[in-house]
Structure 1
Amino acid sequence: MKRMTRDQFIQATSSLTMGESTLEIAEGVLVDGKSQSDYARAKQITRGAVSQIVSRVWKIHLKAINIPDKFVEVTAVLPEHQAFIVKQWEKEAQRSNK
């Protein structure tokens, strides 16, 4: 599932020209984790249209944070020792991707 923080969403959409309803859909899916199908039904548009809206914002987000292909950004709340391990994995992945 594609997710981002509200701050990341604001940054990604700051240069876009999107209507209020379109922004609502993108934010609902990417920030709040609501389903694309629910928005399609509620707004009476196709799921494909919702997907295009979400993809447009997501691509800008990935470009802004410079995530390499086949990599995924993860946000998690973990015990301290597990967070340390994940941070080590991140460093290792960055080294091997250069």
Structure 2
Amino acid sequence: MKSTELILQQLITLLEKSEETNWSVSLRSLMLALNQCANDSERNYVRSQLKRIFGGMGSFSDLVLYKNARVLVVENNQLETLRRALYESLK
């Protein structure tokens, strides 16, 4: 299984390539916070923040990538794979 940090980096790269800046900025911030954790308590807190992005309307789970009013099929398939991997890495 891939590490959470590696998955986050891959997601950020995909989102930036697809010009999805809101989520890429949010994930980058969470990845930096995760990298700066000094102990397990801090790490668990950031991991709980990452889990929260998957719930509710307008959540990361609802994201569909578009560019020039066209759905990015290949990128959305990659996004779904990475999203699942991220969620699994947080269990």
TM-score of the aligned structures, taking structure 2 as reference length: 0.33
- More strand per residue: 1 or 2? 2
Q: Which structure's relative contact order is higher, taking Cα pairs within 8 Å and 6+ residues apart?
A: 2
Under a length normalisation based on structure 1, what TM-score does the superposition of the two structures give? 0.31
Which structure would you say has the larger Rg? 1
